[in-house]
Amino acid sequence: MSATINKQGLLAGKTAIVTGASRGIGEAIAYRYAMEGARVVVSARTVEEGDHALPGSINSVVKRINDAGGEAHAVRCDLSVEEHRVNLINETRDVFGPVDILVNNAAVTYFVPVESFRKKHYDLMLEVQVYAPFHLSQLILPEMKERKSGWILNISSHAALHPNKAAGGRGGTVYGMCKAALERFTTGLASEVYNDGIGVNVISPGLVATPGVLHHKLVTDETPEERITPVEHMAEACLRLVHGDSQEITGKITYAADMLKDYNLQPAALLA
């Protein structure tokens, strides 16, 4: 069955921001939310095709959603810049109204061993992957608390788990640090806003063959097919984590495969 926009879907009338949505998991989440009637702000640094070495752009994602009958708007945002973060929220309000759903998906990553890791790269990774989700949440929480409604979803990784000490590494220590911090932020914030009608969750996708993952050679021809998570599975899991009773679905540290199993989800085909 081909993917379509249902304007009366699960997210009808909701405004969602998805960061890092020019390609990969963020792009898939943007499509899935739009298919359920959300007005989606698609954010990343890559505005047009060709602006980045990897394929994908926020304008391309927005065009696909709008051409299908959905509502989407592109906002260029470098999450390492405070003014960009503030503008992302303000422009979203101007175009679609208050933010109902925030998905913190964007990441910048350097796979370098600790011994050789440069401070400017360390600072950038923590700014984009830890402080930006924190700051964006600060910017939208007052309105969510006033409305007694809202969802924040953070995208993590299995890298947050402690590695096998004998397995060697690929320089992912700082990446794992960032994701572990993001998970602790999620559960802490979920506790703080539990009585405010706001759900806060974090999910790891498993190994999805996104352009970025392929670029870093985290998936190769030798990777067993059963280890790879289809991006549609992640998108479906991320949809389930932003609707329903916020006191029943909050503070979760979960994984795409577990969400599909626990909630008996059938992944939908995405806009193409």
Question: Which amino acids are annotated catalytic?
Answer: 175
Ranges of H-type helices in the chain? 24-35, 58-67, 82-96, 119-126, 132-147, 173-192, 211-215, 231-240, 256-262
For 68, counting Cβ atoms within 10 Å of its Cβ (0-12 exposed, 13-18 middle, 19+ buried), the class is middle
Rounded Cα gap, residues 41 and 200, in angstroms: 19
Rounded CA-CA distance 188/165 in Å is 28
- Within 8 A by CB and 6+ apart from 69, the residues are 4, 5, 7
Write down the residue that tokens 């539990």 correspond to: 194
Q: Which helix (H) or strand (E) holds 15?
A: strand 15-19
- Which value, to the nearest 10 degrees, does the dihedral of the CA atoms of residues 27, 31, 36, 38 take? 60
- Name the β-bridge partners of 44: 76
Query: Which two structure tokens, joined as six digits, stand for 13?
Result: 């009338």
What phi and psi, each to the nearest 5 degrees, are found at residue 155? Answer: -100, 120
Place of tokens 């924040």: 152
